[in-house]
Amino acid sequence: MRIARSDSNENTLLLGYPSNGLVGTFSTSYLIYYLKLKQLGEIDIPNLIAPLFVENGEILGPIRSYKKDNLFVIISDVPFDDYLADDFARVIGAFCKKYSIKKIVIASGMETINPKKKDKKIFGLVTHQKLENILYQHNLPKFLNGSIFGTDSAIISVFRKLNIPTLVLYAECHPFFPDPGASIQAIVTVAKILDLKVDTSDIQNRMEQLRIQHRNLMEETIRAAQRQKEKQKRTPQIYR
């Protein structure tokens, strides 16, 4: 397996965490698996009491970092409330400084009005003008109007302050159930942007199994999002 190199040697971070449809978790974990990325370490978040995971007899922390060539990946298997989201964002900011990250790509989910439609779109949001060209190159519609809250808001705010160019990919998805279909679209889009060769046939063959396997994490993510909305005394939507 080969990771195709882009024209730039800049260090890039791909970031994924539980969000609508678990798009960030699905897409990032699949890319780690498919590209056979090597674990770099675990990420500690202050005040986070989270479970450990066991995979093939190996104990794994809930937030891990991976690396191959100039591609870095951080994935979280746990959702965050308002306070932990801010802590998470700041720790990721320190990680970016340590490893001289010049560009960040985030895969996330966007609640769609019609979750059953097959041709779901992906919208792009950039924090820096230098990434605008990526949207045009890959024919990605721009996120023009809406509200952002929770982990997405904390992450974007910190990266804007640190002036790290960030591209957020919002895949239309079902907000209340794991959505592997939307995740496949996110995987394909991330692969094109990062110039990676990726085959999604494995996840396509296991879509129903993945929905069932990850429904508990989806429930935890929904509860975290509901707590955030209650604190804000309104129900913002990612896209209107």
Torsion of CA 195, 71, 15, 125, to 10 degrees: -40
Q: List the chain domain ranges.
A: 11-232
- Alpha carbon of residue 203 to chain centroid: 17
Q: Kindly report, residue by residue over 1-53, the tens digit of the pLDDT.
A: 333 334 457 899 999 998 888 889 888 988 998 899 999 999 988 877 766 76
* Domain covering 11-232: architecture: 3-Layer(aba) Sandwich (3.40)
Residue 219 has pLDDT above 60, yes or no: no
Residue 133, classified by CB atoms within 10 Å of its CB into exposed (0-12), middle (13-18) or buried (19+), is exposed
Question: Which of helix, strand or coil describes residue 34?
Answer: helix
Q: How far apart are CA 56 and CA 215, in angstroms?
A: 21
pLDDT at 5: 39
Q: How far apart are CA 99 and CA 151, in angstroms?
A: 22
Residue 234 has pLDDT above 70, yes or no: no
**Which residue, 106, 132, 143, is CA-closest to 240?**
143
For the ranges 86-90, 114-118, 131-135, 190-194, the lowest mean pLDDT is seen at: 114-118
What is the number of residues in the chain? 240
What single string gives the DSSP state of each residue in 196-216? -----HHHHHTHHHHHHHTHH
Residue 177 has pLDDT above 80, yes or no: no
Q: How confident is the model at residue 205 (pLDDT cuts 50, 70, 90)?
A: low
| Count of CB atoms situated within 10 Å of the CB of 57 | 5
User: What pairs with residue 13 in β-bridges?
Assistant: 72, 104
Report the predicted TM-score, pTM, of the whole model to 2 decimal places. Answer: 0.80
**Which residue, 10, 134, 7, is CA-closest to 69?**
10
| Count of CB atoms situated within 10 Å of the CB of 8 | 11
- What lies within 8 Å, CB to CB, of 153 at 6+ separation is 85
